[in-house]
Amino acid sequence: MNLFQNAKFFTTVNHLKDLPNTPAEIAFVGRSNAGKSSAINTLCNHVRLAYVSKTPGRTQHINFFELTNGNFMVDLPGYGYAQVPEAVRAHWVKLLGDYLQTRKQLIGLVLIMDLRHPLKALDVQMLNFFALTGRPVHILLSKSDKLSKNEQIKAFAAVKKALKPFMERQQITVQLFSSLKKQGIEEVNQVVSQWFAD
Ligand code: GDP
């Protein structure tokens, strides 16, 4: 079964206190412009389910989508957008941290990082926030089509090496992904389906 195919928009909230009561959910996070909305649209085979931003970082909504198994996918606000005031950015990082550390029904995190710009400080912070939960993280190295096959292999190996210390303390899997080339869709579906099955 494809978990994402025909996922349906469920609700948008702006505050953690308004989060809906779901049976179980997975969340997508990433720096703004990493390709998170595109990845969600590609996985769900839907052109505009998640909004691909022209001005990244403007939306601070938490969007919920219902998956085909009756569980939920959460699209969290992108972080790190330079043109948002520092105080606002810090506020959102704190909210993300609170959500990642306290959300009981969150069974796994999908972290999207541009293959060409991986593991920035805030990405590491998200991994740190989530480490204490003991739950798995799956990393999509996005926009892989922007590199040649050879460069992809090198960049992928470099990220895996950099992730080694993190993998010693938390369950992390990682793959290449391209929304443009529709590369890696089945692998995401398999990993996330396994989370729901465990
Ligand atoms: P978000 O801010 O993380 O939600 O990122 P978006 O999905 O809005 O994408 C940011 C920009 O990267 C947009 O211009 C997208 O068209 C582009 N983009 C996203 N995914 C890909 C991809 O797989 N390949 C290429 N070449 N561009 C992509």
152 lines ligand 1 (CB under 6 A): no
Q: Could you tell me which of 180, 189, 112, 110 has the C-alpha nearest to residue 147?
A: 180
d(CA 124, CA 126): 5
Could you tell me which residues are beta bridge partners of residue 175?
Answer: 140
This prediction has a pTM of: 0.95
Atom of ligand 1 nearest to the CA of 183: 23
Residue count (the chain): 198
Q: Let me know the angle formed at the C-alpha of 78 by 176 and 173, rounded to the nearest 5 degrees.
A: 30
Token reading at 161: 């090496």
b/e sequence 36-63, b meaning 16+ C-beta within 10 Å: bbbbbbbbbebeebbeebeebbebeebb
Helix runs in the chain, H state only: 36-43, 86-102, 121-131, 149-167, 185-197
32 lines ligand 1 (CB under 6 A): yes
The predicted structure's pLDDT at residue 55: 54
The predicted structure's pLDDT at residue 6: 85
Profile the chain (198 residues) by mean pLDDT over runs of 10 residues: 91 92 97 94 84 57 93 94 82 93 97 98 97 96 98 98 96 98 97 95
- Among 28, 31, 36, 38, the mutation site with the greatest number of ligand 1 atoms within 8 A of its Cβ is 38
Nearest protein Cα to ligand 1, atom 21: 143
The predicted structure's pLDDT at residue 84: 80
| Separation of first and last alpha carbons in the chain | 16
Are 177 and 183 in contact by the 8 Å Cβ rule? The answer is: yes
Give 88 Cα–ligand 1 centroid separation in angstroms.
Answer: 23
Could you tell me which residues are beta bridge partners of residue 112?
Answer: 30, 140
51 lines ligand 1 (CB under 6 A): no
Give 34 Cα–ligand 1 centroid separation in angstroms.
Answer: 6
Which are the contacts of 100, defined by CB distance < 8 A and separation ≥ 6? 27, 29, 106, 109, 126, 129, 130, 133
Token reading at 131: 């480490």
| Residue 173 backbone phi and psi in degrees, to 5 | -120, 160
